[in-house]
Chain A
Amino acid sequence: MAVASIPAALRRSADSLDDAEVLRIRNDFPVLGREVNGRPLIYLDSGATSQNPLSVLEAEQEFYEQRNAAVHRGAHHLAVEATEAFEDARQAVAAFVGARYEEIVWTSNATEAVNLLAYSFSNASLGRGGEAAARFALAPGDEIVATEMEHHANLIPWQELAARTGATFRYIPVDDDGALRMEEAAAIIGPRTKILAFTHASNVLGTVNPVPELVALARGAGALVVLDACQSAPHLPLDVKALDVDFAVFSGHKMLGPTGIGALYGRQELLDALPPFLTGGSMITKVTMEGAGYLPAPQRFEAGTQRISQAIALAAAVNYLRETGMERIHAWETALGRRLVEGLSAIDGVRVLGPAPGQERIGLAAFDVAGVHAHDVGQFLDDRGIAVRVGHHCAQPLHRRLGLTATTRASTYLYNTTAEIDAFLAAVSEVRGYFRAGE
């Protein structure tokens, strides 16, 4: 498959990323060359959705031009090629997160992956899946535990699951800096806990949560662990086996891939025992007018015609990330994140959420500007061609806990330069003056 991206050799260097290399990387991302409001686009919203390199766009186009066909159905040539490319993509994504091939289930996005789990647990609670699925069944007296910093996608499905099954929903609170209160976690997670769901890295605070400690607490309680890897899979080396979680979810569009594709990772023995959520074509063994038998994972969770071009394009995305090197990307974004936090903290009237400067965080920062609403901050920045996210970032409870309704968030990726961060900081320092804040 021909790709026009920069040669991998240029990106596989052992040295750390620097601005010169980032400028070369940017050439692979057509959208980064455009202007907004007469200014060069400064894209600082990769935490919401990332941009796509040419190799990803080309992979999707190549599929439609050369091998468009439904997978796992039909014996014709295109169908065979499409199926191979689709399953190769699964292998690439599995390897990228340290999983085995059978342990990656395609979904539309992380939200759908969490819902898939929650509804499969629901079905188990109704007795579906028989004895093997009894371990997933929830009933009054059982507890589902999440955290106060969750994205709504890893929160509401669990609240709903609790409501459907009579289980109790609980959460680990955060402190004023947004860190999980681990002493409370130890008290909350106990013999009643059936599920512990938490985010690896916070999309608002930038905090990286202590996965080993949380997993140890869950293991001690016999609970299943669900990891929201939406903000970690794209930005740091992720190994779901090393982290020893039972399930993990992530979205393709946040890791250089297209929209419409995400994945659920699950330990194979768990996925094979879990009753399906969506049912229909392509996930069955034998169907009669009385009922059906189901294929093992991952097919058992992939009913209906799949997102084929998107899966193939996501594989191109993880290849791009792998060739560039996740360690290097992580180090670069950590440096950008530090620059962001230090710069923002030095601006009068700006309060940065999350860990203080110097403490670990991924390359993003959400902040409040005293006297100026986040929407106005975002508008001011947009006028300068700077794209940021404003609002509650799908984390209302966390904002409420921190005494805010909306914040502005700048989030980086491998294609952001230090000059962009500096231009962003310079613009933020003008915001309060423009809106006459403090008058």
Chain B
Amino acid sequence: MSGLDALYQQIILDHSKARHGSGLDTPAPAGAEAVSHQLNPVCGDEITLRAVVEGGRIRQLRWDGAGCAISMASASVLSDLAEGMELAEFGVLAGAFREMMRSRGKIEPDEEVLAEAAAFAGVSRYAARVKCAMLAWVAAEDAVGRASGGASG
């Protein structure tokens, strides 16, 4: 696989088109909600993400954004994985994603924890793109944290 194909895995290209969880028009279910807006000033990528938390679980994660294939795919995968998760479980997932992104390609992603998000391992080799992959996750940690009263698990 060329360097480029390792970065733009098929899963990433698919999600960048499918954009699961995109659209804030969907009504929010009952629960505590919080919205986070994140901006990458380098390229102008933006995301607005809404989390609804109830009974110790993420009931819904919806977002709206504009950006590169990496940032859009990352938001799509995140929304697939995080919805329905217990807060503690989400904390482990987000922690593992962050660790992978900081690894500069040096650690093997733990696919049990990361599932489809492991496809972003290649991004960690491109320092300039790590922020793109992290954008939605930073928004999610912020929104989930606030919706659950400061403790995201």
A positions within 8 Å CB-CB of B = 37, 372-376, 379-380, 383, 390-392, 396, 399, 405-406, 434-436, 439
8 Å CB contact of B43 from A380, A383, A390, A439? A390
Given contacts A374-B43, A436-B17, contact A383 B2 (CB under 8 A): yes
CB-CB < 8 A to B132: which residues of A?
375
Whether B13 contacts A375 by the Cβ 8 Å rule is no
Chain A residues lying within 8 Å of B7, measured Cβ to Cβ, are: 379
State in angstroms the CA–CA spacing of A390 and B70 once bound together.
15
Smallest CB-CB separation from A404: which chain B residue? B44
Q: Kindly identify which residue among A37, A373, A374, A376 contacts B3, using a CB–CB cutoff of 8 Å.
A: A37
Inter-subunit contact A391/B4 (CB<8 Å) = no
Q: CA separation between A263 and B81, bound complex, in Å?
A: 54
Which residues does chain B contribute within 8 Å of A391, judged by CB atoms? Answer: 42-44
Q: Which residues does chain B contribute within 8 Å of A380, judged by CB atoms?
A: 4
Please, how many angstroms separate the alpha-carbon atoms of A436 and B10 in the complex?
A: 11
When A373-B68, A375-B43 are in contact, do A383 and B17 touch as well, CB less than 8 Å?
Answer: no
Interchain CA distance A376-B3 in the complex, whole Å: 14
How long is the Cα–Cα vector from A375 to B68 in the complex, in angstroms? 6
Interface residues on B, range: 20 to 34
Contacts of A439 in B (CB 8 A): 17
- Chain B residues within an 8 Å CB radius of A405: 43-45, 66
Interface check B69, CB cutoff 8 A:
yes
Interface string of B1-24 (1 = CB under 8 A from A): 011100110000100110000000
What's the Cα separation between A426 and B65 when bound, in Å? 31
Could you say which residues of chain A place their CB within 8 Å of the CB of B43?
373-375, 390-392, 405-406
Closest residue to A375 on the B side, CB-wise? B68
B31: Cβ under 8 A from any A Cβ: no
Q: Check if B67 is an interface residue, CB within 8 A of chain A.
A: yes
List the B side residues contacting A372 at CB < 8 Å: 69
The minimal Cβ–Cβ distance linking B69 to chain A, given in whole angstroms, is 5
